[in-house]
Amino acid sequence: MSVSSIQSDMMLWDALRTRRRWHDPMRGLDAVAYRWQTRFKHARIGLRQLRADADAVVAMDERLSALTDEALDEEIASIRSVFARRNHTRDHTRTAMALIREAAFRETGEKPFAVQIMGALGLFHGQIIEMRTGEGKTLTASLAASILGWLRRPVHVITVNDYLAQRDADSRQPIYRRCGLNATAVINETPEPERMIAYQQPIVYTTQKELVADWLRDQLRLKRIADPVSTRWRLDTMASRKQRGISSPILVPGLHTAIVDEADAVLIDEAVTPLIIAQPRGEDAQAKIYERARDLAGQLELEKHFTVELVKRRAKLTTSGRDTLDSLITPEEHAIWQAKRRREELVEQALVAANCYHHRQHYQIVEDQIVIVDEYTGRFMPDRQWQHGLHQAVEAKHSLPVTADRDTLASMSFQRFFRQYSHLCGMTGTAADAQAELETTYGLPVRIIPTNRPIKRTQMPDLIYLTAQEKWRAIVADIARANMTSRPVLIGTRSIEASEMLSEMLTERGLEHQVLNAVHHKAEAQIIELAGQRGAIMVATNMAGRGTDIKLGDDVAEIGGLHVILTDRHTARRIDRQLFGRAGRQGDLGSTRTVLSLEDDLVIKYAPRLSESLRKAFAGRTTPLPLWTKVVHDLAQRRAQNKAFRSRVEVMRHDQELDRALPR
């Protein structure tokens, strides 16, 4: 059993010990049993069969490559009719994959490798496949989407952003057309009439947010959610559509087949927060109340008047704090301040905004508005708001206009949504680290596809420093050393603030570089492509440009390839692996290094006592600490993963209970 598998089991068990419902109605060890049941159920189609089938497909290459275009099209039409009748066998599947492979080569010049065929077959059989960065997941998905599209059920290819959805739909279209199919993309800018047409196509590329939002709107139109607000919204919408001459109220015709690209990001990272359809209430009449709560919170002292739990992002007034707050309230103030429990809630929320949510890390201010930053990707999320008054508290913290909260019309967790598909599969570069959760939540087996060429990436020893200042100095020195030989360097940071600080240090050192804060998908994809050129220095937040291949420039392989530096552990080990996977693609040379400190946010937040003890033990030291001290980062990362895991459990449990409670 692999180390990652053991760690996954430990994470699963740690979360289940909280006695919270996981895979309804199972609890505790039942969920672990379900995971092994999933493995047993899908054991027949393992790597050995995938490899045998892929070899059989490759063996047909000589015969198919000799066919004329007309003969190839005839064979494609013949095998397509077999799948349309759904009476295909294993031999039919092999033949179909070989024909699609040949079609892909003739249309795009790309001939899938055996490992890509293995991945496509895994998707066809309803599995999550792990393929390393640079192994060609886009082409792999198009092979599987073609054969699944022949079953005459709509195929939804889910990816992480609009740019990738449009790019992949356009670039794969020649393959689909040769196979008698058609593909389109549904992105944020797609108007509703075009969406309705797009969803009728055999293959649709889109993001999970667009798809789930459209599906939820359909449910509101179908009266699936029967509260008064949503009913009024549904009637208004139906009337508006009728005036525009649109007869059918449904956008998404059904949830049949889904291929999820970057499956760990979509099925796990995004699943921490459910998708909500909401409408604004108008201007917030309580703006003055949030501002007053901010002023009151500013008069309280940490530890004396309140305590903060950074992990849970919670603030709690002490007895002294409550007494002080009582003394600050006058009889002339708004009636809401006369209610003891309510005023304490408001002030505690203001304290959370002040102490647990930080500018340029958790959010940015854009045109006098608070824009949330995705902690996993570093991307802006302009369509998101924190709930329960937190968003308003953060706005008041910066003296910005306080926006009104929104009325929730419909809500659904991503876990529950994707489990409704009759055929769900996905691919990512880091499935092994999420194996337990993927198997338990979605009932999907994980298959780790070997690389086409041996990995030559060098993992350099970690460097751990006492202070953050020493860490950043070491990072700049490491960048400078690589730059002296013209090696390209990619530096991954956890926050916008860290990337900007490092940029200032590089500028002072006279090192030309680019900073990528994961704001504009198209621009970041174009920039990240240049990260493999000679002398390039790229500072990027988390997974900026995820889904875009970094190819080495001329002669870069000869000087060592791309050097990747991780400046802080992320809250999920998978994200660290994603960053490291940027180096050494397709057998290229490359190297990676992690540089940490005992003052990193992760250890301060999730292992405060141990990190403090180590800081005292090594006080005054400026050279790297012993390698064993990284145990504090291991512990902090494991705790962060467990916390996120439990949060997803809670989201799904709440979603299920709400669904049972609401009338249909």
Give tens-digit pLDDT for 437-473: 888 888 899 999 999 999 889 999 999 999 999 999 9
Inter-residue contact 167 to 546 (CB < 8 Å) = no
Identify the CATH number of the domain defined by range 42-254+437-448. 3.40.50.300
List the structure tokens of 152: 């005459």
Query: Tens digits of per-residue pLDDT, 38-73?
Result: 888 788 899 999 999 999 999 999 999 999 999 999
Domain ranges for the chain, please list them.
Answer: 42-254+437-448, 282-404, 456-645
Burial class (CB within 10 angstroms; exposed 0-12, middle 13-18, buried 19+) of 535: middle
Q: Half-sphere exposure of residue 248, counting CA atoms within 13 Å on the CB side?
A: 12
Q: Are 412 and 211 contacting, i.e. CB atoms less than 8 angstroms apart?
A: no
Distance (Å, whole) CA 418 – CA 389: 29
pLDDT category of residue 522 using cuts at 50, 70 and 90:
low
| pLDDT (tens digit per residue) in 131-162 | 988 899 999 999 999 999 999 889 999 998 88
Rounded to two decimals, what is the model's pTM?
Answer: 0.81
Q: What is 282-404's CATH topology? A: Pre-protein croslinking domain of SecA (3.90.1440)
List the Cα angle 588/591/594 in 5-degree steps: 150
Handedness of CA 586, 587, 588, 593 (dihedral sign): positive
Question: For residue 439, what pLDDT is reported?
Answer: 87
Look at strands 423-428 and 128-130 and give their pairing: parallel
- 656/413 Cα distance (integer angstroms): 9
Phi, psi (deg, nearest 5) at residue 308: -130, 130
φ, ψ for residue 203 (rounded to 5)?
-130, 125
Question: What is the rounded CA–CA span in Å between residue 608 and residue 592?
Answer: 27
Beta strands (DSSP E) in 59-192 are: 128-130, 155-159, 183-186
Q: What is the pLDDT of residue 471?
A: 97
CATH fold of 456-645 reads Rossmann fold (3.40.50)
Task: For tokens 């020893």, name the residue.
Answer: 461
DSSP 42-83: TTTS-HHHHHHHHHHHHHTHHHHHTS-HHHHHHHHHHHHHHH
Strand order in the sheet with 128-130: 183-186, 203-207, 155-159, 257-261, 423-428, 128-130, 446-448
> Minimal CA–CA distance to 492: which of 421, 570, 401?
570
Residue 149: name the closest of 56, 91, 79, 209 by CA. Answer: 79
Angle, vertex CA 542, rays to CA 539 and CA 548, nearest 5:
80
For 260-304, what is each residue's pLDDT tens digit?
998 988 888 877 777 777 666 555 567 889 999 999 999 999 999
**CATH fold match for the domains 42-254+437-448 and 456-645:** yes
Q: pLDDT tens digits, residue range 154-179?
A: 999 999 888 889 999 999 999 999 99
Three-state SS for 377-426 is CCCEECCCCCCCCHHHHHHHHCCCCCCCCEEEEEEECHHHHHCCCCEEEE
CB-CB contact of 534 with 553 (8 Å): yes
Lowest mean pLDDT among 88-92, 307-311, 504-508: 307-311
What pLDDT score does 242 carry? 52
